Amino acid sequence: MEFWPSANSEVDKWKEVQLVYQSALKEIGTKLEILNDEFQHVHKYNPIEHIKSRIKTSESIVKKLKRNGYDSTIENMIEHVNDIAGIRVICSFTSDIEQIAKMIERQSDLKVIGIKDYFTNPKPNGYQSYHMLVTVPINLSDRIVDTKVEIQIRTVAMDFWASLEHKIHYKFEGETPETIERELMECARMVSELDAKMLSLNNEVRKIEEQD
Amino acid sequence: MEFWPSANSEVDKWKEVQLVYQSALKEIGTKLEILNDEFQHVHKYNPIEHIKSRIKTSESIVKKLKRNGYDSTIENMIEHVNDIAGIRVICSFTSDIEQIAKMIERQSDLKVIGIKDYFTNPKPNGYQSYHMLVTVPINLSDRIVDTKVEIQIRTVAMDFWASLEHKIHYKFEGETPETIERELMECARMVSELDAKMLSLNNEVRKIEEQD
Amino acid sequence: MEFWPSANSEVDKWKEVQLVYQSALKEIGTKLEILNDEFQHVHKYNPIEHIKSRIKTSESIVKKLKRNGYDSTIENMIEHVNDIAGIRVICSFTSDIEQIAKMIERQSDLKVIGIKDYFTNPKPNGYQSYHMLVTVPINLSDRIVDTKVEIQIRTVAMDFWASLEHKIHYKFEGETPETIERELMECARMVSELDAKMLSLNNEVRKIEEQD
Amino acid sequence: MEFWPSANSEVDKWKEVQLVYQSALKEIGTKLEILNDEFQHVHKYNPIEHIKSRIKTSESIVKKLKRNGYDSTIENMIEHVNDIAGIRVICSFTSDIEQIAKMIERQSDLKVIGIKDYFTNPKPNGYQSYHMLVTVPINLSDRIVDTKVEIQIRTVAMDFWASLEHKIHYKFEGETPETIERELMECARMVSELDAKMLSLNNEVRKIEEQD
């Protein structure tokens, strides 16, 4: 059963929607914590550096619906905006991204309904990240609703770049000067190089370690 | 599938056991938070005042096994000690106890495997509380394990009494002087009276309110 | 130096005021945690059961100013409303109240500017609690402001009573029916009796313990 | 007054020492939160990305004392080990480092007793970070003790590098192969370049913004 609010007024419906997405973020957050603890126990290593989560503001949701030609109804929000609930998983090495994605895929009560691999195929502006769209069942008092959450997995360096890009994009409202765009691309390249170098160094250390 | 540790050494097995019970407490804690938020949204009232949780120490577990005539193996712990993971839900009014129990029963992914109703039938020493033994499925990386958690539901006043009783029982190691025991019984009686009085007052207020 | 907001607009001033009071709650919260940890270390006993804190809503502040005949300016709020920042310290036994009050008085960087002892002298409606009005210096980037915080110290049972009384008072907007008021008084009496009984039992246990 | 433990046994003294350093971390953490909130309020910008804190393990402390030729007494720990309590402040841009350092210096109740500027002058192995050694007064029940805390301020990229370096140093116990050391230096160079590039991009954006 997909989630549809049962309240009468639009304001109450939106509150109910927020509540359910907030619950979904809590459930996924708990699951990731448990997986990280287990990984740490078995492999003596934390693949997850830290986690941030957020509910999209109603302003951003409405903007996104408009941009895509939909009316601003709560039904359209739920059906057409996939990142109302977003959780960001930050890791140290690019190799962790795959590990974390696999751990999520194996969860029996999560359903992966979409993947966008901007890690292997960065966006034209340089954006790198691995996106998974999942649904998690939320037990309300009278029904269970499958709720969509977008999970973004990226390294510390990718996350730093993405924060700056977001700030710039927001400031120029989509009309970023070309010079700034070129600089951002250059920064994205440096981020990739640094990530590659740090990973190769980490692998080298592990190889020496295993020889001992 | 029931939970059995997969590690080799006893120490590692115990760590694994703790990890799984810790995860179960996190899952149940999240579920209760979600239910409380929803209740608050629908009824403008928080049935849950606050929540505490704990893992039983290995010393207490071993003592309990001994008392019941079992060897101190990890398998016996899992099979015969039901309150390794315990979560305590404190509420304001005795009427909340039933509400909370019902909310838990309706959760599709929890299985209630036992009830001990020391609220309707207090223990001889005066102890009052509603106990539910449930299992919650924990998604580990390679399997799902149904993990037992004891949920204790009680009012603020019952909880205050139980803390003092626990302290006294622990101090006298089971050989509590009879005078102290009688006083405890007397306190338990006062707790019940106070809870009944506060509930009837609360109901009276609600009745007046509904007339308006 | 007392706290006066430096912002220009009224909205920004109110945000600044909230920020400073929020900071004061954080500082006092940290201090109480440290004192409780030390007490636990030295005496193997936690006098503090738990702590809650809140900022008074602007609506409640405005109402209070009006009730006392003041205009609703931010300057009047700061000068005449003492409980904009409130912290509630809940303890098990009435004897803990004095312990906690003494610990707070000894803090060199807090200044106690007022005491209302509704524990020894309950309010006519039965309300029991020990109130301390203190100021704590808050280090902002360009100045230090002494900020007022009201600390309320009470037992678990007193707190339970106060929650119900608050709810009732709020519902009837000050015009509580006399029967309800009489019942509340009766409950307050039962709370005092229970607190006295539990304390005497606790003392008795300690006496036996010391004889051993 | 400097801090000296008052307990009798060595074990109790060490517990007391840990308690006081833990309290110092809490106090500094609260102060940094307040400063960050205020900065955000005034400048609409968070200089602090996130904060981590830790107490040095007794093993590490004893090792450090040995390395520097001191006996392993608790008095020597307090006098000669400056980073028993450590707090790490992570920021986005290198320009934030100075901002944060200035905010800390202006705190009237912190005393800065030492600065190590590995940001301007990196360590030979490439390590970059700005270290401040401060004392904070901790109010115990019977005395106030000035407690040392080392504050490390660094960017996200520097922090990533430092984590890997720490792991490598720990694995090879100081005898890191020369090739690995050279690679680490190379990574440190890339981190500096990335930080410089991201900062210049951020400044450029702000300049355009101010022209508007």
Residues of A whose CB is below 8 A from D167: 205
Q: How far apart are CA C100 and CA C36, in angstroms?
A: 9
More confidently predicted of D24 and A14: D24
Spatial distance between the Cα atoms of D199 and D158, rounded to a whole number of angstroms: 14
Least confident of A6-15, A57-66, B92-101, C15-24: A6-15
Q: What is the ipTM of this complex?
A: 0.88
Q: At C197, phi and psi to the nearest 5?
A: -65, -45
The confidence band for A3, taking pLDDT boundaries of 50, 70 and 90, is low
DSSP state of C2: B
Predicted pLDDT at D141: 80
Q: Among B92, B163, B208, whose Cβ lies nearest the Cβ of C163?
A: B92
Q: Is D101 helix (H, G, I), strand (E, B) or coil?
A: helix
Whether residues B41 and A144 touch (CB distance < 8 A) is answered with: no
Long-range interactions of D41-47: CB distance < 8 A, separation 24+: D41/C15, D41/C16, D41/C19, D42/C141, D47/D91, D47/D96, D47/D99, D47/D100, D47/D103
Which residue in B has a C-alpha nearest to residue C194's C-alpha?
A: B190
Which residues of chain A lie closer than 8 angstroms to B39, CB-CB?
A: 141
pLDDT by 10-residue block (mean), chain C, 212 residues: 67 90 97 94 89 94 95 93 97 96 93 98 96 95 92 97 91 88 96 96 88 72
Q: What is the rounded CA–CA span in Å between residue B117 and residue C204?
A: 31
In tens, the pLDDT along B66-110 reads: 999 999 999 999 999 999 999 999 999 999 999 999 999 999 899
> Is C82 contained in some domain?
yes
Tokens of B160: 């205050």
Q: Which of A197, A128, A120 is nearest to A163 (CA)?
A: A128
Q: How far apart are the first and last CA of chain A?
A: 55
* CA atoms within 13 A of residue D204's CA, in its CB half-sphere: 17
In terms of DSSP bridges, do strands D130-139 and D111-117 run parallel, antiparallel, or are they unpaired? Answer: antiparallel
| pLDDT, position B22 | 97
Separation between Cα atoms, residue C180 and residue B124, nearest integer Å = 34
- C205, closest residue in chain B (CA to CA): B168
In three-state secondary structure terms, C50 is: strand
Asked whether the beta carbons of residue A160 and residue D92 sit closer than 8 angstroms, the reply is yes
Average pLDDT, chain A: 92
Q: What is the average per-residue pLDDT within A117-132?
A: 97
Q: Is the pLDDT of residue B53 over 80?
A: yes
Torsion, CA B43, CA B48, CA B50, CA B53, rounded to 10? -140
Residue D5 has what pLDDT? Answer: 72
pLDDT digits (tens, 9 = 90+) for D144-189: 999 999 999 999 999 999 999 998 988 888 788 999 999 999 999 9
Closest Cβ–Cβ partner in D30, D38, D144 for C19: D38
Between the CA of residue C76 and those of C4, C86, C124, D68, what are the distances in Å? 11, 18, 28, 59
**Does residue D151 sit in helix, strand or coil?**
strand
Neighbours of C130 (CB within 10 A): 22
Q: Flag whether pLDDT at D191 surpasses 90.
A: yes
Distances (CA, A) of C25 to B206, C62, C99, C149: 34, 21, 21, 7
CA distance B140 to chain A (A): 7
pLDDT at position D3: 60
Contact status, residue C160 vs residue B161, Cβ threshold 8 Å? no
In-domain check, residue B81:
yes
| Residues A87, A79: Cα–Cα separation, whole Å | 19
In a domain, D60, yes or no: yes
The shortest C-alpha distance from B5 to chain A (Å) reads 12
Interface test with B, best of A15, A34, A43, A111 (most B CBs within 10 A): A34
Number of domains in chain C: 1
CB-based contact D187 A208, cutoff 8 Å: no
CATH number at residue B37: 3.30.460.10
Show Cβ contacts of residue B55 under 8 Å, excluding neighbours closer than 6 positions. Answer: B18, B21, B22, B25, B84, B85, B86
Q: Which amino acid is at B82?
A: N
Chain C residue whose CA is closest to B158? C157
C74, C17 in Cβ contact below 8 A? yes
The total number of residues written for chain D in this structure:
212
Task: Say if residues D128 and D184 touch (Cβ distance below 8 Å).
Answer: no
Angle between helices C94-105 and C10-43 (to 10 degrees): 110
The DSSP 8-state label assigned to residue D152 in this structure reads E
Query: Is the pLDDT confidence value at B138 over 70?
Result: yes
Residue A129, in any domain of the structure: yes
Instruction: Yes or no: say if C154 and C94 are a contact pair by the CB < 8 Å rule.
Output: no
Task: Indicate whether A2 pLDDT > 60.
Answer: no
Q: Cα torsion for B125, B126, B128, B133, to the nearest 10°?
A: 10
Query: What residue has token string 């008095």?
Result: D75
In a domain, C196, yes or no: no
| Cα dihedral A2/A5/A6/A8 (nearest 10) | -150
Q: Tell me, what's the pLDDT at D4? A: 65
- Is the pLDDT reported for residue D1 higher than 50? no
Q: Comparing C-alpha atoms, which of A72, A97, A67, A93 is closest to residue A13?
A: A72
**Domain span holding position C92:** 10-156
Stretch A53-72: mean pLDDT: 94
Chain C residues in contact with B156 (beta carbon < 8 A): 156-157, 159-160
Angle subtended at Cα A41 by Cα A205 and Cα A106, rounded to the nearest 5 degrees: 95
In a domain, B53, yes or no: yes
Q: Please, which chains are in contact with D (at least 3 CB pairs closer than 8 A)?
A: A, C
Token digits of residue B183? 């006083």
Q: Binning pLDDT at 50, 70 and 90, where does residue D2 land?
A: low
> Listing from the earlier edge strand, what are the strands of the sheet with B144-155?
B48-55, B85-91, B144-155, B130-139, B111-117
What is the reported pLDDT for B173? Answer: 82
Average pLDDT taken over every residue of chain D: 92
Inter-chain CB proximity A180 and D204 less than 8 Å: yes
pLDDT of residue A180 exceeding 90, the answer is yes
Say if residues C167 and C190 touch (Cβ distance below 8 Å): no
In a domain, D205, yes or no: no
Q: Which residue has the higher pLDDT, A147 or A46?
A: A147
For residue B114, the one-letter residue type is G
CB distance D147 to D138 below 8 Å = yes
| Contacts of residue B175, Cβ cutoff 8 Å, sequence gap at least 6 | none
- In a domain? residue A189: no
Taking residue A57's Cβ as centre, other Cβ atoms within 10 Å add up to: 10
Confidence tier at A1 by pLDDT (50, 70, 90): very low
3-state secondary structure of B143: coil
User: B–C: how many Cβ contacts below 8 A?
Assistant: 81
pLDDT of residue B160: 94
> What confidence score (pLDDT) does residue A203 get?
94
Q: How far lies C180's CA from each of B211, C122, D103, in Å?
A: 15, 18, 54
Query: Which of D111, D140, D146, D149 to mutate to probe the C interface, most C CBs <10 Å?
Result: D140
Please list the residues that pair with C116 across neighbouring strands.
C131
